[in-house]
């Protein structure tokens, strides 16, 4: 069992209740938002599974499109949430290239959905699914770990390099160890980063590509050794990149050895036991308003790099919220509901809600205060005055 003395322990349900009673706070208050936090907290979770039409326990990916359609990629097909609240499945019998959906991306210009599976890339457009595979297109490999849309180009991270599909011409380019800085072409994440593309390489750190110049730049862990991280904040925590997210000039890197943040000049790294990061095994990160929502094998960590809020599930399936403020004791609260499962594989967060794909169902995180306040912030002056 991987434990570390510095990690705040998960209280049992009874102990958590006793702590709350000792503090004189009612149970209901446990999930109330902490007013001093610089980002929203999840008040409770709503969970979705087979009863809602989700065909498999394992949900790999979740995507809410700009027109508020909710899509999920599962072990057994692509699903869309219907107005009834239930999910409708699309599988190989509907034209999907493989049942196992790993990643999703939206083309915000066209509304098309791009679906990466274990055997090919798919485009969902105007109610039709078009499949691209290694043998009938320029796709580098059939296993699609990541997909991103950047302008009129679709980028894929595959087991044999990164692929770039130019939508206007239908032509493909492949980037691997032969024509880029990757010394091994095992790509596991790709994200648009302003004018650039960031490619997460498994064993090669992060490759930064500038399509305008055709240039590549490599970000590697300076100690070049996997048995330790010699110095914190000196570069990517590790060269095995499992996911990337970029927002407003800030790049977040997931690895199975901890988490990294790069602002274009400086790196910041976090490891389990020496920071509030719940686990080194980080699998997915979503960046929203400068805050990283990090999915891992032990729950969900949310941070702006300074303050952290963690969401865990204890042995009794009790949801637990940990709040780590700088230089203050950790605040631990039980939650009225828990994540569907602690093994978090995908996320999408906006000002309204957080959607969390887990290995045993889908969760919707209901944001506490921010939901009301977002509405206030988005209201017209007249509405505010009413």
Partner 1 sequence: MRRASLMLLGWLCGTLVAWGAYLERQPSAGVAPDERTLPPGAQPAAASPADFAYPYYGNTPPEMIPFREIEPHARYWIERLPFRGPGHDYPDPPDLKSLRVGLLSPAAYGPEGARGQRTRHGVLLAFEEANARRGPGQLPFELVEREDSPLWGSAANIAVEFADEQVLGFLGTIDGDATHVALRVALKIETYMINTSDPDPTLTETQIPWLTRVFPDDRQQGFRLADLVVRQHQCQRIVVFRESSRPGRVGVMHFVNYIRRLGVPPVQHLFFKPGDQQISTQLEAIKAANPDAVLFYGQPEDVGRFAAQFRAAGITARFFGFDRLMEEGFQTHAGPAAEGTTITYFFDLNRTDPPWVDFTARFEKRFGVKPDIYAAYGYDGANLMMEAIDHAGPNRFRIRDYLANLDEWSGVTGPMKFDGRWDNIAPFAIAKFREGQWHFEPPSAQPHSTGPLSRN
Q: By CB under 8 A, tell whether 129 contacts partner 1.
A: no
* DSSP type of residue 31: G
* Sole binder of partner 1 in the list 6, 84, 169, 385 (CB under 8 A): 6
- Which of 86, 377, 379, 383 contacts partner 1 by CB under 8 A? 377
- Is 298 among the residues that bind partner 1 (CB under 8 A)? yes
Query: Which stretch, 43-51, 122-130, 213-221, 254-262, contacts partner 1 (CB under 8 A)?
Result: 254-262
Which of the 8 DSSP states describes residue 50? G
Q: Which residues contact 168 (CB under 8 A, 6 or more apart)?
A: 152
Which contiguous run of DSSP H or E holds residue 102?
strand 101-106
Identify the residue among 64, 98, 219, 364 touching partner 1 (CB under 8 A).
Answer: 98
Site for partner 1 in 354-373 (CB under 8 A): 359-360, 369-370, 373
Separation of alpha carbons 265 and 254, rounded Å:
18
List the one residue out of 80, 162, 160 whose CA is nearest residue 113.
80
CA distance 35 to 377: 17
CA dist 42 and 293 (Å) reads 11
Structure tokens at 326: 């700088």
Footprint on residues 141-170 left by partner 1 (CB under 8 A): 141-143, 145, 158-161
Report, in Å, the least distance between residue 168 CB and partner 1. Answer: 27
* The two structure tokens encoding residue 234: 């000196």
Among the listed ranges 22-30, 108-116, 192-200, 302-310, the one in contact with partner 1 (CB under 8 A) is 302-310
Q: Note whether 261 and 290 are within 8 A (CB).
A: no
Residue placing its CB nearer to partner 1 in the complex, 8 or 211 = 8
- 258-287 binders of partner 1 (CB under 8 A): 258, 261, 263-266, 268, 271, 273-276, 279-281
- Choose one: 21-29, 66-74, 83-91, 134-142; the region binding partner 1 (CB under 8 A): 134-142
Give the footprint of partner 1 on residues 72-91 (CB under 8 A). none
The SS3 call for residue 296 is strand
Stretch that binds partner 1, among 66-74, 83-91, 211-219, 232-240 (CB under 8 A): 232-240
CB of 42 to partner 1, least distance (A): 14
Residue pair 197/189 in contact (Cβ under 8 Å)? The answer is no
Write out the binding residues for partner 1, residues 11-30 only, by CB under 8 A. none
Task: Decide if residue 383 touches partner 1 (CB under 8 A).
Answer: no
20 vs 59, beta carbon nearer partner 1: 59
| Sheet bearing 59-64, strands edge to edge | 59-64, 70-74, 77-81, 87-90
Question: Shortest CA distance to 53 belongs to which of 78, 36, 26?
Answer: 78
């Amino acid at each position: 069992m991987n434990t570390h003395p510095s990690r705040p322990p998960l209280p049992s349900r009874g102990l958590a209740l006793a702590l709350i009673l000792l503090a004189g706070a009612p149970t209901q208050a446990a999930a109330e938002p902490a007013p001093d936090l610089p980002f929203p907290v999840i008040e409770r979770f709503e969970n979705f599974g087979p009863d809602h039409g989700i065909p498999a326990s394992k949900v790999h990916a979740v995507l809410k499109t700009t027109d508020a359609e909710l899509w999920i990629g599962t072990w057994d097909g692509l699903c869309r949430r219907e107005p009834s609240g239930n999910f409708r499945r699309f599988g190989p019998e509907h034209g999907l290239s493989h049942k196992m959906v790993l990643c999703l991306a939206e083309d915000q210009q066209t509304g098309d959905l791009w679906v990466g599976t274990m055997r090919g890339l798919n485009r969902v457009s105007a109610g039709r699914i078009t499949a691209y595979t290694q043998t009938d297109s320029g796709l580098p490999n059939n296993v699609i770990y990541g997909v991103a849309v950047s302008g009129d180009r679709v980028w894929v991270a595959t087991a044999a390099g990164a692929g770039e599909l130019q939508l206007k011409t239908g032509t493909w380019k492949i980037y691997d160890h032969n024509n880029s800085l990757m010394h091994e072409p095992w790509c596991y994440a790709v994200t648009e980063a302003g004018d650039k593309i960031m490619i997460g390489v498994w064993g090669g750190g992060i490759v930064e590509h500038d399509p305008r110049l055709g240039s590549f730049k490599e970000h590697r862990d300076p100690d070049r050794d996997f048995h330790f991280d010699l110095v914190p904040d000196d570069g990517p925590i590790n060269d095995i990149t499992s996911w990337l997210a970029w927002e407003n000039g800030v790049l977040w890197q997931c690895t199975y050895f901890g988490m990294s943040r790069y602002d274009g000049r400086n790196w910041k790294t976090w490891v389990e036991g020496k920071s509030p990061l719940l686990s080194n095994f980080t699998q997915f990160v979503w960046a929203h308003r400068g805050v990283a929502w990090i999915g891992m094998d032990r729950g969900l960590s949310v941070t702006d790099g300074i303050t952290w809020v963690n969401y865990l599930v204890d042995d009794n399936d009790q949801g637990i919220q940990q709040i780590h403020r700088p230089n203050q004791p950790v605040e631990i609260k039980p939650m009225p509901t828990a994540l569907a499962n602690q093994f978090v594989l995908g996320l999408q967060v906006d000002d309204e809600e957080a959607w969390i794909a887990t290995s045993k169902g889908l969760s919707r995180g209901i944001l506490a205060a921010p939901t009301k306040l977002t509405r206030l912030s988005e209201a017209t002056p007249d509405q505010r005055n009413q």
